[in-house]
């Protein structure tokens, strides 16, 4: 069966309405993007930064812009049972987008930060997403994975659900076939090689702090 394609240029950046990035790593992703998708309030921040969104998605309750302004395409998604970021993930999936980088997911309201990270976990099996903040790269994994690191890089792992078994090798504090809960049980670890192995029966968030 032929794989369906989208017409968007990669790399694709999604910007949520959290704190707009200032660190060189996330701003480098932004400056090298070829398609920028904003949840509605994030569009204002992007325009203030000096860039124009290609697509704006949401119920438009957080933006001062009108759909005649700036953005090339406006997608109205008024469902109040889902956040603008959930609507954006679903729009990307429905339009055959396979990989995104998410900026602006953290900072500002703490409830939104936690909700955005749970959204990452919710959709991670349907779309590849890296969250890039001013402090770290955050990914969601399950099953068996090798993850690239820098020696001495700070690494934290937080379960999003009860994990029956998790094994980690290549970090300062290894874990073998351990049960963990959503908690602080596996935070503040450190890379001792240029990659580490993780095998988990459930979804976990991996935080890879920027080395510089």
d(CA 198, CA 61): 41
The domain 12-134 is placed in CATH, from the list 3.40.50.10240, 3.30.360.10, 3.10.350.10, 3.30.930.10, at 3.40.50.10240
The domain 139-209 is placed in CATH, from the list 2.60.120.320, 2.40.110.10, 1.10.10.1100, 3.40.190.10, at 2.60.120.320
d(CA 140, CA 176): 19
d(CA 170, CA 115): 30
Please give the pLDDT value at position 69: 56
The set of residues, in sequence order, having a beta carbon less than 8 Å from that of 183 and lying 6+ positions away, is 158, 159
Average pLDDT over residues 13-40: 96
> Tens of pLDDT along 165-191?
999 999 999 999 999 999 999 999 999
Q: Where are the domains of the chain?
A: 12-134, 139-209
d(CA 1, CA 159): 36
d(CA 18, CA 41): 9
The set of residues, in sequence order, having a beta carbon less than 8 Å from that of 50 and lying 6+ positions away, is none
């Amino acid at each position: 069966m032929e794989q369906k394609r989208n017409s968007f240029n990669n790399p694709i950046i999604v910007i949520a309405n959290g704190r707009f990035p200032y660190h060189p790593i996330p701003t480098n992703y932004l400056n090298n993007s070829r398609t920028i998708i904003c949840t509605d309030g994030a569009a204002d921040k992007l325009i203030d930064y000096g860039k124009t969104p290609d697509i704006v998605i949401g119920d438009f309750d957080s933006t001062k812009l009108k759909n005649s302004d700036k953005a090339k395409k406006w997608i109205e998604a008024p469902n109040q049972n889902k956040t603008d970021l959930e609507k954006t993930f679903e729009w990307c999936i429905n339009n055959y987008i396979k990989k995104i980088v998410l900026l602006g997911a953290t900072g500002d309201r703490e409830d939104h930060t936690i909700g955005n990270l749970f959204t990452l976990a919710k959709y991670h099996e349907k779309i590849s997403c890296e969250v890039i903040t001013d402090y770290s790269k955050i990914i969601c994994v399950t099953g068996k994975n090798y993850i690239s690191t820098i020696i001495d890089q700070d690494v934290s792992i937080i379960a999003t659900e009860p994990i029956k078994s998790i094994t980690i090798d290549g970090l300062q504090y290894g874990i073998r076939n351990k049960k963990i809960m959503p908690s602080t049980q596996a935070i503040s670890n450190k890379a001792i090689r240029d990659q580490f192995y993780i095998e988990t029966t459930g979804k976990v968030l991996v935080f890879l702090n920027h080395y510089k």
